[in-house]
Amino acid sequence: MLAKGLIVYYTFALLYSIVLYIRRRKGAALQAMILISCPFLGVLIILAMFKKSAQDGELPEWLLRREEYMDLSLQTPNRELEMNIIPFQDALMLNENSIKRKSLINLLKEEFLQQSDALALALKSEDTETSHYAATALQQAKSQLVKELKRLEARLQENSTGLETIKQYVDVLKQSVQIEFLDQKTQKKYMYLYSQSLSRLLALNPTDSSLYYNEKIKTALELREYQQALETAEAFLEHFSHDEDAYFAAMSVHFHMQNREAFFQLVDKIRSSSIRLSPERLNQLRYWLQGGMYEGKI
pLDDT value, residue 284: 85
Residue 6 within a domain: yes
Q: Are 31 and 20 in contact (CB under 8 A)?
A: yes
The pLDDT of 139-159, averaged and rounded, is 88
End residue of a domain, out of 34, 53, 72: 53
pLDDT value, residue 129: 66
Residue 278 within a domain: yes
Residue 254 within a domain: yes
Residue 289 within a domain: yes
Alpha helices in 85-241 (DSSP H): 85-94, 97-111, 116-123, 128-158, 163-178, 184-204, 210-222, 226-239
Q: Are 228 and 246 in contact (CB under 8 A)?
A: no
CA distance 296 to 289: 8
**CA distances in angstroms from 173 to 151, 177, 195, 203, 271, listed in the order given:** 13, 6, 9, 18, 36
Residue 82 within a domain: no
Q: Specify the higher pLDDT residue, 64 or 145.
A: 145
Residue 49 within a domain: yes
Output Rg (C-alpha) for the chain, integer angstroms. Answer: 27
The pLDDT of 149-168, averaged and rounded, is 92
pLDDT value, residue 287: 82
Other Cβ atoms closer than 10 A to 110: 14
CA distance 161 to 121: 41
End residue of a domain, out of 53, 78, 94: 53
pLDDT value, residue 15: 74
pLDDT value, residue 145: 84
* pLDDT-based confidence at residue 55 (cuts at 50, 70, 90): very low
Nearest by Cα to 188 from 177, 199, 198, 178:
177
Q: Are 244 and 270 in contact (CB under 8 A)?
A: yes
Residue 243 within a domain: yes
Could you tell me what percent of the chain has a pLDDT over 90?
30
Parent domain of 49: 2-53
Domains identified in the chain, total number: 2
Mean pLDDT for the chain overall? 73
b/e 33-48 (16+ beta carbons within 10 angstroms → b): ebbeeeeeebbeebee
End residue of a domain, out of 53, 68, 85: 53
**CA distances in angstroms from 65 to 58, 74, 248, 298, listed in the order given:** 14, 18, 46, 57
| pTM to 2 decimal places | 0.58
Q: Please write the tens of the pLDDT for every residue from 90-144.
A: 444 444 455 545 555 455 545 555 555 666 666 666 667 666 666 777 777 778 8
Q: Please write the tens of the pLDDT for every residue from 171-230.
A: 999 988 877 566 788 889 999 999 999 999 999 999 988 999 999 999 999 999 999 999
Residue 252 within a domain: yes
pLDDT value, residue 7: 73
Residues 6+ apart with CB under 8 A from 257: 226, 230
